[in-house]
Amino acid sequence: MIARRARCLSDLLPVVRRLMRDMWTLEKQETILAWARHLFWADLARRHLDHYAGGSRLKEEWQDWWHFFALLSQWYASEYVVLDGWREADLHDPIIDQSLVRQSDLVGMLRRYRNSVFHYQPNLIVPKFMQLLEESERSVFWVHYLHSEFVRYYWSYVNDFPGTPEQRSEFRESVLAIVGWIPDGTVEAKAHRLRQLAATVDEGTAGDMSDAAEELRNLAKAARIVAAEGLAHYRKQCRSFLLRSE
C-alpha cells in the first residue's frame, strides 16, 4: 500500500505544477506554497506530539519517554525547516520577524537541534539536544508560538487573496489541492468566521425593522465584539509569554 501510494506521487507532482502554471505567476506562488507544504508536515508532527503527550499513553515507563523524545525531536527538526524556508523564501511578517530577532538564541539552538536529528550522531548524549532541552521553560512555548504565527501567516495568505468571491473560492480549492491543508482552526480564522456570520446577518436583515431582525442584528454586533476581544486577548497573552521568555 505504501509503495503504491509513493509511486503515485511521482505522477501527481507534475500535475500539481501544471495546475499552478495555469493559474498564477509561477515562481513566487510556488515558493510560498512549497514553504507551506513544509509547514503542513511540521504541523502533522506537532499534532502527533500533542496527541501523545496529552493522552493516557504517556506514562513513566522508559519506552514512553523515548517515544515522547522521538516525537518532540521530529517536530522541532521539522519546525526549523519551516523557519529556514521562511528566510530562504524571503518571506516577511512583523510579528514573526521580531520574534526571530528577540529569541535569536533559541533560533540557534533549534538549528543545532535540527542538525542533530537529521544527521547521524554516534553518541546517545548529544550536547546540541541538551541546549534546547535545558531551556524547555522558554523553548517549548516559543516553538509552539512561532509555529502558530507561521500558520497564521499561511491562513492569511490564502484568506486575503484578492478577487471576486468565485476567484477566491477557486484559489482556496487550488491551494488545498496543491498543499493538502489549509488551517481553519486558528484564532484569526475563528474570528473571521464570526465576522462573516455577522455580515451575513446584517445583509439578510437590511431594511427589516421587525423585533426579530433587530435581535439578530444585536447578536451580530455581539459576535463582532467577541471576535475582536478574543483576538486582542490572544495577542496580549502571547506578548506576555514572550516577554517572560527573554
Residues 174 and 197 in one domain: no
Residues 73 and 171 in one domain: yes
State residue 54's pLDDT score. Answer: 79
What total number of domains does the chain contain?
2
Q: Is residue 36 part of a domain?
A: yes
State residue 123's pLDDT score. Answer: 85
Question: From CA 16, how far away is CA 33, in angstroms rounded?
Answer: 11
State residue 212's pLDDT score. Answer: 80
State residue 207's pLDDT score. Answer: 81
Report the Cα–Cα distance between both ends of the chain, in Å, rounded: 47
Domain end residue (candidates: 160, 178, 196): 178
Q: Is residue 230 part of a domain?
A: yes
Residues 111 and 60 in one domain: yes
Residues 126 and 243 in one domain: no
- Residue, of 232 and 70, whose pLDDT is higher: 70
Q: Is residue 23 part of a domain?
A: no
Residue ranges making up the domain that contains 147: 28-178
Domain end residue (candidates: 122, 157, 178): 178
Q: Is residue 13 part of a domain?
A: no
State residue 56's pLDDT score. Answer: 58
> What single-letter amino acid sits at 138?
R
Question: From CA 130, how far away is CA 134, in angstroms rounded?
Answer: 6
Average pLDDT over residues 207-215: 80
Arithmetic mean of pLDDT over the chain:
83
- Please count the other Cβ atoms lying within 10 Å of the Cβ belonging to residue 62: 8
Q: Is residue 63 part of a domain?
A: yes
Q: Is residue 169 part of a domain?
A: yes
Residues 37 and 122 in one domain: yes
Residues 62 and 39 in one domain: yes
What pLDDT digit, counting tens, does each position of 63-91 carry? 888 889 999 999 999 999 999 999 999 99
Residues 46 and 96 in one domain: yes
Residues 61 and 166 in one domain: yes
Domain end residue (candidates: 178, 206, 224): 178
- Residue, of 222 and 137, whose pLDDT is higher: 137
Residues 43 and 99 in one domain: yes
C-alpha triplet 35, 107, 129: angle, nearest 5°: 105
Residues 83 and 128 in one domain: yes
- Residue, of 161 and 59, whose pLDDT is higher: 161
Question: From CA 239, how far away is CA 245, in angstroms rounded?
Answer: 10
Residues 234 and 127 in one domain: no
Predicted TM-score of the model (pTM):
0.82
What pLDDT digit, counting tens, does each position of 133-166 carry? 999 989 999 999 999 999 999 999 999 888 888 8
Residue 55 reports pLDDT greater than 70: no
- DSSP assignments along the chain, one per residue: -HHHHHHHHHHHHHHHHHHHHHHS-HHHHHHHHHHHHHHHHHHHHHHHHHHHHHSTT--SSHHHHHHHHHHHHHHHHHHHHHHHHHHHTT---HHHHHHHHHTHHHHHHHHHHHHHHHS--SSSS-HHHHHHHTTHHHHHHHHHHHHHHHHHHHHHHHHT--S-HHHHHHHHHHHHHHHS-----SHHHHHHHHHHHHHHHHHHTTT--SHHHHHHHHHHHHHHHHHHHHHHHHHHHHHHHHHHH-
Return the top range by mean pLDDT from 4-8, 14-18, 208-212, 236-240.
208-212
Q: Is residue 238 part of a domain?
A: yes
Residues 98 and 194 in one domain: no
Q: Is residue 1 part of a domain?
A: no
